């Protein structure tokens, strides 16, 4: 069995904090992640995922509510957020980034098989 990081095709940054993960294995694997990250590290992380264009302001890549989401999955609770999605190699990576402070952001990421 491959690790979650191998399946998602990325590593959570080592300087991420308050990591929350919800992983469902089955016919269609799906992972939800939430973590806090210094804003200075966001471009590097987005590049690791394969995002080569800026995230779009107020772009919601995933539904406002998910039927099987845990209580910590609250990506749209702040008026300021940016989002994007990337489909590659049989996976879809959807991301929303919300500001926490002038130096920190919160990352919400949904990864699932196409």
Which tens digits make up the pLDDT trace of 84-111?
Answer: 999 988 899 999 999 999 999 999 999 9
Measured between alpha carbons, how far is 5 from 48 in angstroms, rounded to an integer?
A: 12
Q: Where are the domains of the chain?
A: 4-113
Measured between alpha carbons, how far is 103 from 92 in angstroms, rounded to an integer?
A: 28
Q: For residue 85, which of 40, 50, 58 has the smallest C-alpha distance?
A: 50
Mean pLDDT of 23-29: 79
What is the Cα 58 distance to its own chain's centre?
15
How high is the pLDDT of residue 2?
61
Mean pLDDT of 63-75: 87
């Amino acid at each position: 069995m491959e690790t979650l990081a191998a399946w998602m095709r990325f590593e959570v940054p080592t300087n991420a904090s308050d990591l929350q993960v919800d992983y469902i294995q089955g016919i269609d694997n799906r992972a939800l992640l939430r973590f806090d990250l210094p804003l200075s590290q966001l471009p590097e992380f987005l590049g690791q995922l394969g995002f080569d264009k800026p995230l779009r302001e107020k772009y919601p890549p995933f539904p406002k509510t998910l039927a099987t989401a845990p209580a910590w999955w609250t990506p749209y609770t702040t008026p300021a957020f940016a989002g994007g999605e990337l489909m590659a190699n049989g996976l879809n990576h959807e991301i929303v980034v919300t500001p926490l402070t002038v130096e920190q952001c919160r990352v919400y990421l949904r990864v699932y098989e196409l």
